[in-house]
Amino acid sequence: MTLNSLVFMFLFLPVSYLLCRIVRGTAGNIILVLASIIFYAWGNPAHAVLLVLCVLLTYSGGLLIAGLKKDWADRAAMIALIVDAGILIAVLAVFKYTSAALPTGISFYTFSALSYLFDVYRDEEEAASNPLDLALYIMLFTKILSGPIVRYKDMKPQLHDHPVTTEASLAGLELFLTGLFKKVLLADVLGKGFAEISAGSLTVGTAWLGVLFYGLQLYFDFSGYSDMAIGLSKAFGFTVEKNFNYPYLSTSISDFWRRWHISLGMWFRNYVYIPLGGNRCSELMQVRNLAAVWILTGIWHGNTWNFVLWGIWHGAFVILEKFLLGKGKRQLPAVLGVVLTDLIALTGWIFFFTPSAGKAFGWFGALVGIGASGLWKAGMGLVLRNYLITLLIAVLACTPFLHNIHERFAFRGGIVRTMIAAAVYGVLFLFSIASILGSTYTTFLYAQF
Amino acid sequence: MKQKTIAALALNAAAAVLLVIFVAVLARPRGKAISSASFETVSGAVLSQVDTGTMQEGDNQMLRRLYRLSPEDFDGFLLYYPTSNMGAEELLLLKLKDLDQQESVTQACEARRATQMASFDGYAMEQYAMEENAILDVQGNYVLFISASDPAGVDRAFREAL
């Protein structure tokens, strides 16, 4: 089941929401865990069993690590951590890097489980004594498919205090719908445009257009999903931090990674970069630490060389910025910084959408005319015209412009504005449903990772 | 060690053993390899080899109508069908949720091909030949059905993308 499927929006969500409004406390949490298992089992029940076993291993692992630290020795606790974390990583690797069917969201829930075990070992968090708490933290259906990857210590205070209120539910619904519109009305439409552009021979123009369309599609697909996940969490009484902050307005690649998939960046910072020494070591060691983070980030995304190359691509620019261009780049006008960063980030996605390294380099070549069949392809003008309005809205939505208008006018300043905003939301929702009904493919790009 | 820690150790060991056994069963090799390539990657590669000028994109309803398949049963699908009744060009790309679907999908594609061939038989030899040469390629969790002037080229692109 996905967050944008009809069965989720019109059956699963209303039923689970109503139950959680009626039943509170521990019983409410039991309902949420059961609902999450049903949600996850919808596509493949066997994968739900796998999820439950991972939760059981993490729960008992947390208790064991804490117990060994207290009763015996750190070394024994470390062995337990290595064994349990090793098993979780091995399970992830089996599904991610072999021919086995990938359980949806496994990369995300494994990283949640690992962060919990690491935090317990580092005494940053107590081991959960109630298995229900850990199950809810890892399995909560609002975020299990593609994050955000929340730390246990951020969620723990909310596990027994997440009142489902009308006010929070309406705010959550607003964010959920915004995410749905981003996904269905922008990302899916741009995806169709990308398919039309990339079909057939590649020219310089289509190579650049493809990069632009895919970059925007990926952003609205994933940030749309994140908005839906955060909005749903809010509706069920949980506060989850935002996962995107206008990444295409970043003035450097380091800045980009503080704004794109924030929770994954924080995970690698907390559990790889800082434990390796972070920036409190020699420059050479800092380069090693950054390289490790970026190669691992690439590998996390997939099992092909393309993802490793994509990690190296971003890592190289981060290292270049930090050690070679640092001072010079700070002197650049902000606009130029944004343009350069977008150029690097958007062209970097070529590694994502091409099936092999050879095809990726072929696409890079086509950007500058090498191997391209000319400058422009006949018929592309018509394609561009068909998607022009969506493209313009998408570019505007990459900035706070539309959000600011929304914040200023929607649901604020009297009944008339509220009615107009509700009507606009209603119309956009109907458009989205019509689009889902008539569409061919509406899953989320990041769910494959 | 205290009793609580011993109980945690026993539970942890049991969970680890169960998990390893379950993963071994779940990830056992079954037939052809499952591709981890994204649907966008595969559909992009396939579309790059297909002339869609004489076809139109089909939606959920068309998948049900032409193939009697339910869109929600798949992780993704791409359908192009002829713009006219005299057209035989057709493309169907499916990403299966489970390898057990291979058989039913194969039957659905064969049934579609048989229907088309029956409708062209006797008076539209070119279209009949195109359907005859159509390729149905089942590769793990991906299925391609292509009826076109160069189905082999499309199939090559399909296999390369997996």
Tell me the two tokens of residue A4.
Answer: 């944008």
Q: What are phi and psi of A72, to 5 degrees?
A: -130, -100
A305 within a domain of the structure (yes/no): no
| Residue A255 pLDDT | 93
Domain ranges (residues) in chain B: 1-30, 32-161
Instruction: Select the residue of A64, A96, A195 nearest B5 (Cβ to Cβ).
Output: A64
- CB contact (8 A) between residue B11 and residue A94: no
* Tens of pLDDT, residues A393-441: 999 999 999 888 887 877 677 788 888 888 888 998 998 888 887 665 4
| Residue A303 pLDDT | 74
Residues A51 and A112 in one domain: yes
- List chain A residues with CB under 8 Å of B27: 94-95, 98, 100
- List chain B residues with CB under 8 Å of A362: none
Residues A231, A225: Cα–Cα separation, whole Å: 10
Residues A33 and A159 in one domain: yes
- List chain A residues with CB under 8 Å of B33: 99
| Residue A12 pLDDT | 94
| Residue A327 pLDDT | 59
Mean pLDDT in residue range A112-135: 95
- Would you place residue A256 in the very low, low, confident or very high pLDDT band (cuts 50, 70, 90)? very high
Mean model confidence pLDDT for chain A: 89
- Residues of A assigned a catalytic role: 301
Residues A94 and A210 in one domain: no
Q: Which residues span the domain enclosing A234? A: 168-251+332-367
Name the A residues in 99-118 with CB < 8 Å from any B CB.
Answer: 99-102
Mean pLDDT in residue range A249-261: 94
Distance from CA of A2 to the nearest CA of B (A): 11
Residues A48 and A156 in one domain: yes
Residues A184 and A126 in one domain: no
For residues A180, A186, A188 and A190, what is the CA-based torsion angle, rounded to 10 degrees?
-170
Q: Mark which of A164, A190, A205 sits at the end of a domain.
A: A164
| Residue A449 pLDDT | 65
Closest C-alpha among A73, A63, A51 to residue A125? A63
- CB contact (8 A) between residue B20 and residue A353: no
- Would you place residue A92 in the very low, low, confident or very high pLDDT band (cuts 50, 70, 90)? very high
Residue A328, pLDDT > 70, answer no
Residues A93 and A191 in one domain: no
Give the sheet arrangement for strand B74-82, strand by strand: B55-57, B74-82, B90-96, B142-147, B135-139
| Helix and strand element counts for chain B (H, E) | 6, 5
Question: How many angstroms separate the first and last alpha carbons of chain B?
Answer: 52
A310 within a domain of the structure (yes/no): no
Residues A47 and A174 in one domain: no
- CB contact (8 A) between residue A50 and residue B26: yes
- The answer to whether B158 touches B139, Cβ cutoff 8 Å, is yes
Residues A72, B1: Cα–Cα separation, whole Å: 7
Helices assigned H by DSSP within A354-414: 357-367, 380-397, 401-409
The list of chain B residues with pLDDT below 50 reads none
Tell me the two tokens of residue A148.
Answer: 């955000």
| Residue B61 pLDDT | 79
> Would you call A325 exposed, middle or buried from its count of C-beta atoms within 10 A (0-12, 13-18, 19+)?
middle
- CB contact (8 A) between residue A355 and residue B26: no
- A435 in reach of chain B (CB within 8 A): no
Helices assigned H by DSSP within B3-124: 3-26, 39-47, 60-67, 102-120
* Tens of pLDDT, residues A268-324: 999 999 999 988 888 899 999 999 999 999 998 877 788 999 999 999 999 998 887
Residues A124 and A109 in one domain: yes
Instruction: Select the residue of A7, A80, A100 nearest B34 (Cβ to Cβ).
Output: A100
Residues, chain B: 162
Q: Mark which of A106, A139, A164 sits at the end of a domain.
A: A164
Name the A residues in 338-367 with CB < 8 Å from any B CB.
Answer: 353-356
How many contacts, defined by CB atoms under 8 Å, are there between A and B? Answer: 143
Q: How many CB atoms lie within 10 A of CB A91?
A: 23
* Tens of pLDDT, residues B85-121: 788 899 999 998 888 788 889 989 998 998 888 888 8
| Residue A78 pLDDT | 95
- Would you place residue A367 in the very low, low, confident or very high pLDDT band (cuts 50, 70, 90)? very high
Residues A22 and A113 in one domain: yes
Residue A247, pLDDT > 70, answer yes
Residues A104 and A245 in one domain: no
A388 within a domain of the structure (yes/no): no
Half-sphere exposure in the Cβ direction for A404 (13 Å, CA):
6
Provide the ipTM.
0.81
A85 within a domain of the structure (yes/no): yes
Closest C-alpha among B115, B63, B57, B112 to residue B81? B57
Q: Mark which of A349, A367, A385 sits at the end of a domain.
A: A367
| Residue A54 pLDDT | 97
Find residue B146's DSSP bridge partners.
B91, B135
Residues A157 and A231 in one domain: no
Domains held by chain A: number: 2
Residues A429, A11: Cα–Cα separation, whole Å: 16
| Residue B32 pLDDT | 55
| Residue B30 pLDDT | 56
Residues A365, A368: Cα–Cα separation, whole Å: 6
Residues A191, A441: Cα–Cα separation, whole Å: 10
- A195 in reach of chain B (CB within 8 A): yes
Nearest CA in chain B to A357: B161
- The answer to whether A12 touches A18, Cβ cutoff 8 Å, is no
- The answer to whether A273 touches A293, Cβ cutoff 8 Å, is yes
Residues A21 and A106 in one domain: yes
Please give the residue that has the higher pLDDT: either A365 or A97: A365
